[in-house]
Structure 1
């Protein structure tokens, strides 16, 4: 799609836009750095001037200077240092050239200095050294008190550098807010979208979320036409919580609200409330709501609110005080406290509602909870159409088939597939994105990148072929296992081979469906034992899935006859951090025993099924060794037609 370009040519009379003022005044912080560098240079020169005087010992003072009557006067400074000035007629003496030559040397002096222990001792020693000198030739001694700027500056400069460092750190923490950053770390860092600002995202860019979009659009209508609702006595909802798995469009929904609401929109992340200083989180909450109330009606959007909204009992078990808890307390007060909060609607998003504090979720704070679930087949088709708009597509691209082949995918996953397909087509120097590119992109997103260059020994390749053939044959002849469409022994990601299924989109799963799925997962291990007489470590992923599935059947869904209709599933998340199980040791032994028996019986059933169809197993394995990838047409030639045609809804690979 071609975009119109705007002409920004200005006339000679127009002025360029002014740059925003620096928070440090007209000259800016950069001038401050130049002033500091200049000061350090001057200070260094000044220090060299002060240090140009040479220090001598008492022996040299007595044997050289006093003996030759070269001293004009001595000035005792602060009762610590005695400055020695030479007579002008002695400066030409070669012995004293060292104190007169040089860039920072001066004839006026002082030329030497000596550190004295005490004034009385120095005077006594000097008097004894001048016993044989007449009173007219005796040295004039004066006493002065001076401020030692070198010492003071030696303390002030490091302190100034430390202060400058902290100014720089706090300036970085200011986050671009107005005013002096030194005092802005307690201010809100929310990004403000003003009324009338154009947003790139609108409700037209959101597909597959009809119910959720309708509720959010109603909130926008509240702000545009409040009198339509308040005339009947209704109150505008104070808060809307968007809940759903990652990638389902929670943040996208908030961006659309920002573009459609035509009211000031404040957006920030939950983690931005908490900084390194104590009390900053609560201060930022207060400032955020103050800014929102000043611009009411307005909307506040807090993304990933679980960063500050976790249950207070869980996060503060072993601490006397916690910054996150004080931030949450302030947030609860602002949402529904004694203060007036009219005209401000709070949107929040999270994919972990189970960890949020109950006080945060109650009506009056978040009146509406909107659940964004994974899209179904029809909704996936609508999402594909949105993400296919900017792509140059071939005529063979079938959106309905893409929707069928991507079950369980979120909107973010679909966007990733579309982008990967375009990258694959560009890599192949194509002018259009074809259906095959989407198939390769789907396989790459689910299973990982193909690694045809990975070296596998012939023996290992044979084991992988029979393993995947075992999965294929077992799933083909089991009634309740999803439809198999492709088997591959090409390494992909971390797996050495994979079997691709197209399961139905079920809302509930029966016990027989669970058992058939377990048998299909054990098909690879059973095939290895039947053909080679031993088993390998290749079934690790299968055994992990089977074990978790069996424990879920017994302890969660109550599908075991011995354990009975009992569920130990905790939807509230209260048992997450508990060190003990919610059942007794006797029940734990019974659950372990039933799970072990369930998996053992399923393994025996799978072995018997593969022994019955061993001929098809070996034939399919040989085709895999030859072609590496077997599609559905080849599977039907070897195994025959499946009994009941199944709907194509979801793809889930079984990895070795």
Structure 2
């Protein structure tokens, strides 16, 4: 397989400073706490004060006939409360009642469920028929509210109400208060004088042209009269477009740090919610806040989440809420003047799917494209990310920049961090050049897996496969310079050939063909040496097939088809189930692709047959050392014409 290099500061507060604490006042949530505590107390205390229930037979034989009852209270015509005479409570049969601190003194001591008042009175009269007048028990009747039943109904509703209040308080905690009705407010994070960004343009490296355009906007916010006196109008909106990791969000943070004006930052996905109309409401509230704090900046990251095209081709994927939000955003962008002091920044890496109405002049007047950095820009980016790293004197920053073509700023930051982690893992005092090389290999190819078990036969096939890549690319003049060859498993690959790609803006037909031949070198070497091919060339064949189809169908590099391209830069044809050409043309494209790959494979096989002895020598050296560097390659294959940077050995 061929592995190519691809494309806050905290404020210091002294110990003597004692910031004033806000006075403790009445907070609404204290009501909730009191309510919950009361419910808990009622739940735990109620069993303690619960009166014991007895049967009529027990009441008649053990209490009433023994003249122990002081009085009876009939409550709500449902229960009868029994009060025992105080002097009788010392009797052992009343021990359970007397030990209850809540009922021993005041009562009632027992309760009886009565079917009806008349029945209860009749039974009581029959039992007391022979009693003396002073021995008969007094009966009274009372009507009371059943608080236990009421609480059993109210408690579930109270818990639900409390839950929803707390939930909506959490939803509205963003800068918009805690009301239930504030979920339609903007959730943008406000950066102002008190919470200013610590990132400035000094922290943004490798984006000179983009930085100069953004600096003009910052200068307008600081000195608007310089532009307005000449009749100039500052752009309403600036769209930052570029691949992932090129510094779009970092640029916006630098604008916030340099402009020193209110900066509203949020993501495009924060506009869209499950509630209908919330997105449009948040857009209105966002621009209202920005106008009130003008001059100000609004930054919408990943605007493609809400700004997708509303074309008919997307009708089957239509999201009404997203479209309403986009319509409101378009209206707001048109709704304020050019020199009101409100500027909208937006970032995306999918500019091709954005609605055309959003990108037109008058809304986003200026489009700034952030591309992958060149060598000089990578050198500057390395300088920024190497500041906090304690590096040794042998670190060659210029060499690191040369060996990382196609890397974005985020990739470079990752390499620097990985190098520091590798050095720390090895208990080093400083980060050395070798650590940076190892970090680069890990970022590009994945983690080295020396413990992966490979049979001797498979290892021999992998060695000849990688040697085939190396020998073929060495003798093809339009292939990038070979740096090293390895048969140590890394990531998903069992081996790899490392190259130093040149930075091309265009690629010629001969360059395409030579690259295809180099990619087929591994499979050709297997067939040449073992008279059999393996599945190890899957990644190579996939890449070769894509390159061949691009040459024939997109770039117009095929003589049979001529200068024709079926490439769709708008991406609209991807949504069709069919292809933008006829069946006859599809057959012709497939035939030309097959002929192109077949001829390249035969060419590669003939090249390796011519240098078979060198192929065998390199494969044997790989089996012995596992990693072969440029010096050994030159000893076996001779000096290559292309210049390669020195000191590239790990």
- How does the TM-score come out when normalised to structure 2? 0.88
* Structure 1 counterpart of 2:547: 549
Per mean C-alpha deviation after superposition, the further-off stretch among 576-585 and 503-512 is: 576-585
Aligned positions of 1:326-365 closer than 5 A? 326-337=324-335, 342-365=340-363
- Residue aligned with 1:592, SS: helix
Render the CA deviation track for 1:448-482: whole Å, top value 9, x for unaligned. Answer: 23222333222221111100000011111223222
* Structure 2 counterpart of 1:371: 369
CA shift, 1:73, in A, is 4.2
* Structure 2 counterpart of 1:654: none
* Counterpart contact for 1:81–1:113, Cα < 8 Å: yes
* Structure 1 counterpart of 2:538: 540
Q: Distance in 2 between matches of 1:142 and 1:648?
A: 109
Q: Distance in 1 between matches of 2:304 and 2:178?
A: 31
CA shift, 1:351, in A, is 1.2
Q: How many residues align?
A: 639
Choose the corresponding residue for 2:642, options 631, 636, 645: 645
Q: Distance in 1 between matches of 2:318 and 2:86?
A: 76
* Structure 1 counterpart of 2:469: 471
Aligned positions of 1:141-156 closer than 5 A? 141-156=139-154
Cα RMSD of the aligned pairs, angstroms, is 3.4
* Counterpart contact for 1:174–1:181, Cα < 8 Å: yes
Q: Distance in 2 between matches of 1:144 and 1:321?
A: 65
Choose the corresponding residue for 1:17, options 16, 19, 23: 19
Per mean C-alpha deviation after superposition, the further-off stretch among 358-367 and 163-172 is: 163-172
Q: Distance in 2 between matches of 1:186 and 1:339?
A: 25
Q: Distance in 1 between matches of 2:15 and 2:48?
A: 58
CA shift, 1:38, in A, is 3.7
Aligned positions of 1:437-586 closer than 5 A? 437-586=435-584
Residue segments in structure 2 that go unaligned for 5+ positions in a row: 1-8
Report 1 or 2 for greater relative contact order, CA contacts < 8 Å, sequence distance ≥ 6: 2
* Counterpart contact for 2:176–2:186, Cα < 8 Å: no
Q: Distance in 2 between matches of 1:195 and 1:481?
A: 54
* Counterpart contact for 1:285–1:330, Cα < 8 Å: yes
Per mean C-alpha deviation after superposition, the further-off stretch among 550-559 and 299-308 is: 550-559
Choose the corresponding residue for 1:106, options 104, 107, 117: 104
Q: Report the CA distance shift for 1:129/1:259 in structure 2 as closer, same or farther (over 3 A).
A: same
* Counterpart contact for 1:196–1:263, Cα < 8 Å: no
Q: Distance in 2 between matches of 1:589 and 1:342?
A: 59
Render the CA deviation track for 1:88-133: whole Å, top value 9, x for unaligned. Answer: 5654554444433323223442222233455566556666766777
Render the CA deviation track for 1:170-226: whole Å, top value 9, x for unaligned. Answer: 343344536436554333332222248664322122222111111101111121222
Render the CA deviation track for 1:144-167: whole Å, top value 9, x for unaligned. Answer: 322222222233334333333334
**1:228 partnered with 2:226:** yes
CA shift, 1:618, in A, is 0.6
Per mean C-alpha deviation after superposition, the further-off stretch among 244-253 and 471-480 is: 471-480
Q: Report the CA distance shift for 1:537/1:173 in structure 2 as closer, same or farther (over 3 A).
A: same
Choose the corresponding residue for 2:289, options 288, 291, 305: 291
Q: Report the CA distance shift for 1:138/1:277 in structure 2 as closer, same or farther (over 3 A).
A: farther
**1:8 partnered with 2:14:** yes
Q: Distance in 1 between matches of 2:391 and 2:87?
A: 100
Q: Report the CA distance shift for 1:398/1:338 in structure 2 as closer, same or farther (over 3 A).
A: closer
Per mean C-alpha deviation after superposition, the further-off stretch among 150-159 and 245-254 is: 150-159
- Residue aligned with 1:104, SS: coil
Per mean C-alpha deviation after superposition, the further-off stretch among 84-93 and 228-237 is: 84-93
Render the CA deviation track for 1:357-391: whole Å, top value 9, x for unaligned. Answer: 22222222211111100011222222223333334
Render the CA deviation track for 1:265-287: whole Å, top value 9, x for unaligned. Answer: 12222233344544443333222
CA shift, 1:647, in A, is 7.3
CA shift, 1:534, in A, is 1.6
* Structure 2 counterpart of 1:42: 41
- How does the TM-score come out when normalised to structure 1? 0.87
- Residue aligned with 1:147, SS: coil
- Residue aligned with 2:184, SS: coil
Q: Distance in 1 between matches of 2:354 and 2:630?
A: 47
Aligned positions of 1:7-406 closer than 5 A? 8-10=14-16, 16-19=18-21, 26=25, 35-36=34-35, 38-51=37-50, 53-61=51-59, 64-65=62-63, 67-68=65-66, 70-88=68-86, 91-119=89-117, 122=120, 140-177=138-175, 179-180=177-178, 182=180, 184-195=182-193, 199-275=197-273, 277-312=275-310, 317=315, 322-337=320-335, 342-406=340-404
